[in-house]
Amino acid sequence: MPASTSKFLFHRPELARQIADRLTGDSPFGAEPTLCLTAPRRTGKSTFLRNDLAPELENRHIEVVYVDLWSDRNADPGHLIAEAIKQALRRAEGVPVRVARSVGLSKVGVGATAIDLDRIGQPQGATLTDALGVLIDRTDKRVALVVDEAQHAIVTEAGLNAMFALKAARDTLNTREDSADGPNLVLVLTGSHRDKLGRLVLGRDQPFYGASVQNFPLLGRDYTEAYTAWLNKRLAADNRFEPADVFAAFDIVGRRPEILAQILKDIALDNGAGELRKALSTGAETLRGRLWQDYESAWSSLTPLQQAVIKRLVTEEAQFTPFSAASLAAYSSAVGEPVEVPSVQAAIEALRRDNLVWRSARGQYALEDQGMAEWLKGRRSEERPDQT
């Protein structure tokens, strides 16, 4: 989810300071040791975490452990979290991770405390609390665990258990005697799907019940001003973009830097930068179409029943019950023939294999990409005749 082209990187130091203040207790309202932040996919969130928030926390003598649960969707989220902590412990020992693996380094510790790295989070192995406690002691630093795309943790029971284990670690380590000056462990949980991330905080049976999911600020005009200036320096004098036009296009495509960069590249190479203003003056459809192309392609490849399931999911949202009588009636109406539960089960499994529909370990469903819901709602409004 880059917030730059391959060479342009936009920093947000003030936002990083604000978030770090909230985590550590340097704000007037005390510490918030768990922050849940959400923003749509490809809007620059992960780039900010790695290039702005992590350095800010490190400058405050905080050890940052970053794990992206989207990096390997076939791996169990709990394993990915344990692996990130394991690598941080190996670095704390002063041994490069690759070297540690080659020489078989499997245990680290402080004083008489030693833990088996290969058994972190496993039965009879060190708990996440133990491992993070050793990391705090070994580095003599507080720890910030940043879990990107954290909502992916609840697709398996093991992943959900890992979230409960992180909560337990936070509560235990932040009541140690050495936490008087600030929390020993802070958690940053981010996600590209607000409803799915919200499943971690809504309900007394969820690991972070009581926390709130907050919108991560999208990039704004300061980004497009800087990007336009950087880009224009590399273009001929008669082929340069106007900052106001670039911002307007950026807004149309949902403030997604990668899509903006591709649009500007195509326009500059094909017809010249002046064509951007013409595209804006004739309406947003052409530019927005760049954003929707992937959704249109995915949609056209679905069967009528799969399309009906997605439409029902978009309509019902959190109340979606795929096998209820009302849902079966809606599918039957959409496809023009009776639909039974086994057919719906097969359709949902196919949608999950294609990464279009998400299912939690507790049987809750959502679209993988909320952008598809926006696209589908827009598509429906275009298909619906004007009733006025």
Q: pLDDT tens digit string along 7-58? A: 899 999 999 999 999 999 887 777 889 999 999 888 999 999 999 999 999 9
Virtual torsion, Cα 29, 35, 36, 40, nearest 10 deg: 90
On whether the pTM is more than 0.85, the answer is no
Give the strand order in the sheet containing 142-148.
62-68, 142-148, 185-191, 34-38, 213-215
How far apart, in whole angstroms, are the C-alpha atoms of residue 116 and residue 331?
52
Compute the Cα dihedral for 342, 343, 344, 345 and give only its sign.
positive
Contact 36, 189 (CB under 8 A): yes
Q: What is the pLDDT of residues 71-121, one digit of tens each?
A: 887 888 888 999 999 999 988 877 444 434 443 445 554 443 567 777 677
Q: Each residue of 209-223: pLDDT tens digit?
A: 888 889 999 999 999
Q: Are 172 and 132 in contact (CB under 8 A)?
A: no
Q: Which residues sit opposite 142 in a β-bridge? A: 62
Contact assessment for residue 81 and residue 147, using Cβ atoms and an 8 Å cutoff: yes
Q: What's the distance, Cα to Cα, between the start and end of the chain in Å?
A: 41
Output 108 or 200, whichever has higher pLDDT: 200
pLDDT of 199 strictly over 90: no
pLDDT of residue 64: 97
Task: Give the model confidence (pLDDT) of 303-321 as tens digits.
Answer: 999 999 999 999 888 789 9
- One-letter identity of residue 131: A
Number of H helices, E strands in the chain: 17, 9
The pLDDT value given to residue 144: 97
Q: Shortest CA distance to 88 belongs to which of 122, 64, 71, 59?
A: 64
User: Stretch 116-133: mean pLDDT, rounded?
Assistant: 80
Note the pLDDT of residue 310: 95
pLDDT at 326 over 90: yes
Place 6 in a pLDDT band, splitting at 50, 70 and 90: low
Q: Decide if 155 contacts 361 (C-beta within 8 A).
A: yes
Closest to 57 in 3D by CA, of 133, 178, 143 = 143
pLDDT of residue 101: 44
Residue (of 243, 242, 231) closest to 269 by Cα position: 231
pLDDT at residue 239 is higher than 70: yes
Give the residues across from 144 on adjacent strands.
64, 186
Provide the percentage of residues in the chain whose pLDDT is more than 70. Answer: 87
- Lowest-confidence pick of 193-207, 215-229, 268-282, 323-337: 268-282
Q: Is 67 exposed, middle or buried (0-12, 13-18, 19+ CB in 10 A)?
A: buried
C-alpha 182/C-alpha 184 separation (Å) is 6
Which residue, among 159, 170, 148, has the nearest Cα to 82 in the 3D structure? Answer: 159
Q: What are phi and psi of 178, to 5 degrees?
A: -80, 10
Average pLDDT of the residues in 344-351? 95
